[in-house]
Amino acid sequence: MSFAPEYLDPDHAPRREQLDQRRGLVLVEFGTAWCGYCQAAAAGVRSLLERYPAVEHVKVEDGPGRPLGRSFRVKLWPNFVLMRDGAVVHQLARPSRGELADAFQRFAGSEAAGG
């Protein structure tokens, strides 16, 4: 899959039930376009997704009271949820680039490009 450059409007984002039915490894990213931390994380996320092309990237605009973010207990942005076959395997709130890379290595290592 590829890097999702834009945040999906919550009205057009998948529902939790739909994410729970996805197969394979999915990175669900919560944030907003105006969030400085989210903007700073974008290059690192893009780089990781290039190394792990089998990972699906879903980027969802979040805000107070939004049901999808609440279902994952999102408190800080960016918030990254790694799901495998519909189950949450790891969640990171405002991680460093290294922390996110470590999570990808741990949960998607076998799915790396050329690996």
Q: What is the mean pLDDT of the chain?
A: 94
Q: Could you tell me if residue 7 is inside a domain?
A: no
Residue 7 gets which letter from DSSP? P
Q: Could you tell me if residue 9 is inside a domain?
A: no
**Total domain count, the chain:** 1
Q: Could you tell me if residue 83 is inside a domain?
A: yes
CA distance 79 to 76: 6
Q: Could you tell me if residue 8 is inside a domain?
A: no
Confidence band of 2 (pLDDT split at 50, 70, 90): confident
Q: Could you tell me if residue 79 is inside a domain?
A: yes
Asked if the model's pLDDT at residue 1 lies above 60, the reply is: no
CATH number, domain containing residue 25: 3.40.30.10
Confidence band of 114 (pLDDT split at 50, 70, 90): low
**pTM for this prediction:** 0.93
Nearest to 55 by CA among 94, 84, 86: 84
Q: Could you tell me if residue 4 is inside a domain?
A: no
Nearest to 19 by CA among 28, 6, 11: 28
Query: Domain residues for 52?
Result: 16-111
Residue range 27-51: mean pLDDT, rounded? 96
